[in-house]
Amino acid sequence: MLYPLKFNAVFKDYIWGGRNFQKLGKRLPEGIVAESWEISCHPDGVSTVANGSYEGLPLPGLVKKLGRKLIGCELPDSALEKFPLLVKLIDANDKLSVQVHPEDQYAAVNENGELGKNEMWYIISAKPGAKLIYDIAPGVTKASFAKAVGKNKIEACLKYIEVFPGDFLNIPAGLVHAIGEGIVLAEIQQTSNTTYRLYDYNRTDKNGNKRTLHIEKALDVIDFDGAGRKEKYQGLSIKIAESCYKTYKIANKYFCVELYDINGTIEENADGSRFCLYVFIEGEGRIEYQGGAEYVSQGQSVLIPAFMGGYHIRGNLKALKSYVPDLNKNVLEPLENAGYSKEDIFKNVSGLE
């Protein structure tokens, strides 16, 4: 029987982390915890099932065992070979390095067949005045940026934006970015761990060593033509039940992310087309499916197998739902059917432009 799958988190102790995941109900190991890989099939941090009959099975083994029953019949064969999405929580107790990620083609050639890394962020909490780096400053060229890097004066070439709880940000490959201190966020991304570091504030690790930079590759992949792009999008909402709404926030060929605001009961259907992931960011409730129910609360993540069938989510909670979309079928058509024009959709849903 297929059921909502929970996983044991994989914790990372990078130097900029803290202890803020405790506020999300996480039971942490001692010391710094920077990232919690919630659902991951990447070799750098493989999730294992934490509940039900598949408890203890690593996610790659589950994909191999269940195949399209888990992944879905409408995703390409590549999704069976590499589970396409990875979910993280990030605790930026200190600022992260300034970095950029490659697209698929560049990563395949230069990173031994690794996927590129398109990602998105949802700001769970942010201290007053918290900022992050989003893009290079308008007017910065590859030549001027390379010169600034050489002189260790990169910060003047970057665009800083203030963020608040509830903000969504699309981070496409090629976008220079960095999370600032005092921010806890959820990240949904392609299954990749390829990061090109440009600047790390001259920090050293616990052994006194500076972290490796990847200047040449970073300059290869930065999207200098996209400087000045819009950062935050409102999203478009659809009523799905009494006092329950979903808002389409970010949609591209790699993932769609919707914000579910549930105050009551909604009905969903895993119809065999594709799996989906939920990250529960506020409140508590339960997922009721044929054969049982699974309690969910803030800080937990769940994978819904593609062929699980109909299910209900009951409670008072907010969640991020993500999946690999057919953009016409899963995004454009539902929004147009709800009365939104194409102009509205492209103006308000990030990633479609």
Q: Is the dihedral of CA 183, 184, 188, 191 positive or negative?
A: positive
198/73 Cα distance (integer angstroms): 40
35 is in an annotated binding site: no
119 is in an annotated binding site: yes
Active-site residue, from 19, 27, 68, 197: 197
| Pair of tokens at residue 62 | 């589950």
287/253 Cα distance (integer angstroms): 28
Query: Where would I find the beta strands (DSSP E) of the chain?
Result: 7-8, 10-12, 35-39, 48-49, 85-92, 98-100, 119-126, 131-136, 158-162, 168-171, 177-178, 183-190, 196-199, 236-241, 244-251, 256-270, 276-289, 292-297, 301-304, 309-323
177 is in an annotated binding site: yes
Question: Of 316, 208, 336, which is closest to residue 262 (Cα–Cα)?
Answer: 316
151/70 Cα distance (integer angstroms): 50
**Any residues with CB less than 8 A from the CB of 326 and at least 6 apart, and which?**
74, 273
3-class DSSP state of 327: helix
197 among known catalytic residues: yes
Element (H, E) at 216: helix 215-221
Q: Mark the binding-site residues for Zn(2+), compressed into ranges.
A: 101, 119, 177
The residues annotated as belonging to the active site are 197
Q: Mark the binding-site residues, compressed into ranges.
A: 101, 119, 177
